[in-house]
Structure 1
Amino acid sequence: MSVDFALLLRLEHAVADILATPEPAGRPVLDAIGRALGWSAGAMWQVTPGGLRCVATWSTSDRFAAFETATRDLVLARGEGLPGAVWQRGEPAWVREFGRQAAFPRAAAAGEAGLSAAFCFPLRSAEGVEGIVEFFTSTLAEPPPDLVSTAKSLGRRIGDALHRARAADAVRRSEARLRAVLDAALDCVVIADADGMVLEFNPAACRTFGYRRDEAVGRELAELIVPPALREAHRQGLRRLLASGEPRLLDQRVETTGRRADGTEFPVELTITRVAVAGPAVFSGYLRDLSDRHRVAEELKASRRRVLEAAVGERQRLERDLHDGAQQRLVGLGMTLARARTALPDQPARAAAILDDAIAALEESAIELRDLARGIHPASLTRYGLGAALADMARRSPVELRLGELPAGRFPPAVEATAYFVVSEAVTNVARYAGTGTARVDVAVSGAELVVTVTDGGRGGADAGLGSGLRGLADRIALLDGTLTVDSPAGAGTTVRASIPL
């Protein structure tokens, strides 16, 4: 069969038109070549790290469907089958009586389809062989004139197109991975060019600074997120870096101030790096909102300050109680004993009466000291543990205190004391504010924590941030790395829950 030069030229133009489309597909290329040259079936293979893989098939009849299926299922190594052999040699190849070639994996399928000859040529780019194209026929016995030169020309065109498509796909995949990383990042990522104009603004930055991405991209970074007082310093630093190339803040973590879209300013941790790309400088900034960290630090300082003030206040109270109560009684007792010693030789009856008064005063002083000590730390808690101390509290409680199941074992003294005072303060609040005469206490070990819960059915509305008692409890619990929660909806009672690490 002869193929004229004009047909081959038109074929090259047709293939070039297909390859010029944004997404050149293998099947249209196979169809254009196959129909122009009178082939019956064809396939396009792509070189991959795992070998040659079929990316497209084409035929003129359904009777070649089984052969197409056999082709699509194959993965060929270098030198394997007709495509593998052409890949290895890098030159076109013509095979007669293809269906009888036992060395070819699809020989039997080709024979059943009546395909008797095959032509295969490589698709080359500047980087090497990108793929393989093969065609089969039932009628051609000899290759058409100029077929090899035309195949080489087509192979270069198609190979270049495959290389461009593969490079474009790699870029798309890379951009997709970058976009996924930016979208998933918890920190703000802001990318800017040498002029300080925003090129990228990830979702975390949008949430933190209050801008949409389309509002941020294309604007000057200084105007966008830098407070007015710091903008000129920011611009001067950028100009100095571009002029001298000497970084002062690059690749360092610094704490500074950011500005939201609504004008509010807040502390941020900032790291700036220079992106390694050719051409004008590009910088990437990584920012983290430190508002919560600062708030926690301030709350910790305030908590420690309140604990210190409470300790000082308690010492002062003890000093007053001892001075005004037991100390005065003991001083008076000393004077009474001195009078008794003076009266003892001459007035034994009077001395006996004075000693009786001294004994009574001593008993009153002991009771007063015991009551004072009980206000600091109940003796039953020290001797017998939390269960016994809570049982004593229930007997003395101004409200009916119902105790749930209590742990029988002992816990560290600090844990027991904290749990006891949680219940004591909560029960006191029930008596004062809840408007109910009953409360329930439950204590349980949950994992590595002792969980103390006090509930009542009163009027609710309690606020742990307003009452000094609950706030003091929260401070005490925080010293043990525990937590205190208060759930008190209006009209639905109050639940105080303390979790104290063991």
Structure 2
Amino acid sequence: MTQRPAADVALLLRLEHAVAEILTAPQAAAAVLDAIGQALGWSAGALWQVHGGELRCAATWSAPGRDFAAFEAATRTLTLAPGEGLPGAVWRAGEPAWVREFGREASFPRAAAAATAGLEAAFCFPLLSAGYGVEGIVEFFTGRLEDPPAELLGTAKSLGRRIGEALARARADEAVRRSEAQLRAVLDSALDCIVIADADGTVLEFNPAACRTFGYARHEAVGRELAELIIPPQLRQSHRQGLQRYLESQQPRVLDTRVEITGMRSDGTQFPVELTITRVAVEGRPVFSGYLRDLSAQHAAAEELRASRRRIMEAAVFERQRLERDLHDGAQQRLVGLGMTLARARTALPDSPARAAAILDDAIGALEEAAIELRNFARGIHPSSLTRYGIGAALADLARRSPVELRVGDLPGERFPAAVESAAYFVISEALTNVARYSGTDAALVTVAVEDGRLVVSVADEGRGGADAQLGSGLRGLADRMAMLDGSLEVHSPAGQGTLVRARIPV
């Protein structure tokens, strides 16, 4: 066995400074192993890092001109628990360790690979940080059987602290980067507007949803006062007063509460928004996060619902008046006339039986006409064939009376609830009336099918198109009828390309 001379103290100091500079560079692990290994004449080395409850190899190194590929491969694929192998033992003890005849230590997982590679001795020291403890382990191997110089132990501890603190900073920096990336991903993917502002009301963050809703680019919003940016002029003073009141008293009035207020877009238009303000848990002056949701669509839907209900009520009143007028002008007048005819027959009966018989014949004819008129009247309200036999029979009757040629596709054989069949029938009837009046064609195709729990009714023509469901009272009335059944009505009518009316009614 050859005796190695004592380490040069100046060399060890230079080594510490060199490692300190390397730690500021990327890919520092491999560079640290190379600097230490070459300076101190080691043959191979490895750097381990703590991941959860185990050690994993972060980098390996071998001296120039030396080939330890098999040993390095065994090292890179290994994971060690506390106390397992030389790195695990140093991890548990927290102190440097030197092992002679490393390849003969059967308890070490890589003993056989080390013996094959001719690596006889190993030196291992921990990488320590003040906040975490053992951050990792560095180990080196040599073929010489000798004890390490005393100065090396002190240098190893100093290097271990330097490298350990660097690893801790790198882990903290990575955690910050990951946290910032996650925060940015959350902000970018949020459907609601997220606006973060400081205690002065200055915007610190403005996510993409806020950009789309309020009409600002992020760089236009960040750094500006929130009140001037998205709050209407008439509300700015109260906003500023409320912020100042909270800063002085720390007594919240609207924090963590959903409120509905008015917001302002970049073009000055105002719209309703739902707002929730929370205080962000950071040290120092308060930071606030506002979550805003545009309520314009909800308000429009609510207003349309109210308008639909008004139209339904008005349509019901109009329909009652129409029924009263039709009855008065039609069947009621016939029945009054029938009564007068029967009165004449009674007067003529004793003196002129033949004349009375003729008058009764007229009365019978008038009665038959009144019955026909009442039957037609009732059919207009709700066809009896629909009630008795379903949508197929009702469509057959409608086809016979329709002013346009009606082509009917396959029909479902089952019956549906009366309200569903009635709605489907009147969609078809109204659509055919529109075809006859406005389309400029004399044919239409009707299809009825069940899709995904809904009865889908379609009426298509190849006429002039241009129908508008918002302008026509008939189509608007059908849409209201569909809404009452939680259904929907679609009208596709490009100019010159025909019209398709499609209703979807839950069954």
SS at match of 1:247: coil
Code of the aligned partner of 1:340: A
Give the CA deviation at 1:427.
Answer: 1.1
What's 1:55 paired with?
A: 58
CA distance in 1 between counterparts of 2:165 and 2:92 reads 19
Aligned counterpart for 1:259 among listed residues 259, 264, 267: 264
Greater shift, 199-208 or 356-365, is seen at: 356-365
What's 1:246 paired with?
A: 251
Q: How does 1:485-500 map to 2 (within 5 A)?
A: 485-500=490-505
What's 1:80 paired with?
A: 84
What's 1:35 paired with?
A: 38
What's 1:68 paired with?
A: 72
Query: Which sections of structure 1, spanning at least 5 residues, go unmatched?
Result: none
What's 1:338 paired with?
A: 343
What's 1:144 paired with?
A: 149
Give the CA deviation at 1:62.
Answer: 4.4
Code of the aligned partner of 1:295: A
CA distance in 1 between counterparts of 2:313 and 2:323 reads 15
1:4 equivalent to 2:12? Answer: no
Q: How does 1:281-300 map to 2 (within 5 A)?
A: 281-300=286-305
CA distance in 2 between counterparts of 1:125 and 1:402 reads 84
Give the CA deviation at 1:274.
Answer: 0.8
1:109 equivalent to 2:113? Answer: yes
What's 1:129 paired with?
A: 134
**Is contact 2:43-2:66 (8 Å) kept?**
no
Code of the aligned partner of 1:299: E
CA deviation map 1:325-354 (0-9, x unaligned): 222222232233233333333443333233
SS at match of 1:131: strand
What's 1:154 paired with?
A: 159
Give the CA deviation at 1:359.
Answer: 2.0
SS at match of 1:6: helix
What's 2:355 paired with?
A: 350
SS at match of 2:306: helix
Identical-residue share of aligned pairs (%): 76
Query: Which sections of structure 2, spanning at least 5 residues, go unmatched?
Result: none
Greater shift, 315-324 or 336-345, is seen at: 336-345
SS at match of 1:158: helix
The number of residue pairs the alignment matches comes to: 501
CA deviation map 1:200-252 (0-9, x unaligned): 11111111111121221111111111111111111111111111111111111
SS at match of 2:150: coil
What's 2:380 paired with?
A: 375
SS at match of 1:332: helix
CA distance in 2 between counterparts of 1:323 and 1:272 reads 64
**Is contact 2:272-2:294 (8 Å) kept?**
yes
CA distance in 1 between counterparts of 2:198 and 2:435 reads 63
SS at match of 1:99: helix
Give the CA deviation at 1:24.
Answer: 6.3
SS at match of 2:204: strand
CA distance in 2 between counterparts of 1:387 and 1:138 reads 96
CA distance in 1 between counterparts of 2:236 and 2:22 reads 53
Give the CA deviation at 1:140.
Answer: 5.4
SS at match of 1:124: strand
What's 1:317 paired with?
A: 322
Code of the aligned partner of 1:98: F
SS at match of 1:122: strand
CA deviation map 1:472-499 (0-9, x unaligned): 1111111111111112222222111111
SS at match of 1:196: coil
**Is contact 2:101-2:145 (8 Å) kept?**
no
CA distance in 1 between counterparts of 2:93 and 2:150 reads 22
CA deviation map 1:456-481 (0-9, x unaligned): 12122222122111111111111111
1:230 equivalent to 2:235? Answer: yes
CA distance in 1 between counterparts of 2:225 and 2:269 reads 18
CA distance in 2 between counterparts of 1:303 and 1:368 reads 33
SS at match of 2:471: coil
1:180 equivalent to 2:189? Answer: no
Q: Considering only aligned residues, what root-mean-square deviation do their CA atoms show, in Å? A: 1.5
Code of the aligned partner of 1:49: G
SS at match of 1:146: helix
1:45 equivalent to 2:87? Answer: no
CA distance in 2 between counterparts of 1:157 and 1:170 reads 20
CA distance in 2 between counterparts of 1:483 and 1:291 reads 21
SS at match of 2:68: helix
CA distance in 2 between counterparts of 1:439 and 1:170 reads 67
